[in-house]
Amino acid sequence: MWKAVILAAGYGNRMGDLTKSTPKPLLRVLDKTLLEHKLDRLPDSVSEVVIVVGYHGDQIVELLGKNYAGRKISYVWQKELLGTADCLWQAKDLLNEKFLVMMGDDIYSKEDTENCLKYDWSILVKKVGFLRAGGRAIFNDDGTLKNIVEGEHNVADAYVNTGLYVLGPEIFSYPMVQIPGKKEFGLPQTLLQALNDIEIKVVESRGQWLQITSPEDLKLAEEVLKNR
């Protein structure tokens, strides 16, 4: 059985007033929060979920409690919001075996998650006709990860990093990598250090990945989920 780590500590600044008093993972699409949609799509092989909370994290704890749909829920706090790598590092004492990592706001399909869990280490990517935001994943001929290029936008037929990973506790043996020009430490940037030692399988999304970065994305997700 697997543990899943959900990184749900951030401010969600690009959501404007919607996150003024609510953490982004608790924004609602149809009748559920983004976090509940994510939990409902986890494979049956995931028996425990660790949620890293920060901004208004008490609301997440109050909503979900210690159990959700038969899965144990644990919480750790990121007291200072220093990026996705630092967020994951807060949970390292709870992660002694391979685990799943996903962002707290995006909605992933059960199919894609199950496909990622087939490998010891993996990253989920999505092919897009035109890359407008996010890290561009580059992979070798054998389907393993070669690089993640950040800040390279307006690229046609690219593969974007969705922020879903399968990792082992060995990740914590590498130093966190600071994002240039920021105080934050990035998980993609940190992950790249492992490429010399570990093969990371690139899994292309065949299911539904709903990236939530703006209020407009909430409306789009509502239409997609309403008609699925």
**CATH number of the domain enclosing 204:** 3.90.550.10
Sign of CA dihedral 73, 79, 82, 86: negative
Question: What tokens appear for 15 in the block?
Answer: 């959501």
Rounded to a whole number of angstroms, the distance between the first and last alpha carbons of the chain is 29
Domain assignment of residue 138, yes or no: yes
Question: What tokens appear for 79 in the block?
Answer: 């007291």
pTM: 0.95
Domain assignment of residue 228, yes or no: no
Which pLDDT band holds residue 199 (cuts at 50, 70, 90)?
Answer: very high
Domain assignment of residue 165, yes or no: yes
Domain assignment of residue 60, yes or no: yes
Q: What is the pLDDT of residue 48?
A: 96
Domain assignment of residue 118, yes or no: yes
Cβ-based burial of 101 (10 A; exposed 0-12, middle 13-18, buried ≥19): buried
Domain assignment of residue 30, yes or no: yes
Distance CA 112, CA 126 (A): 10
Domain assignment of residue 74, yes or no: yes
Which pLDDT band holds residue 9 (cuts at 50, 70, 90)?
Answer: very high
Averaged pLDDT of the chain: 93
Please give the tally of structural domains in the chain: 1
Q: Which range marks the domain in which residue 171 is found? A: 2-223
Nearest CA among 131, 149, 154, 130 for reference residue 139: 149
Domain assignment of residue 43, yes or no: yes
Residue 193 has pLDDT above 90, yes or no: yes
pLDDT tens digits, residue range 150-184? 887 778 889 999 999 999 999 999 999 999 989 99
pLDDT tens digits, residue range 30-61? 989 999 999 999 999 999 999 999 999 999 99
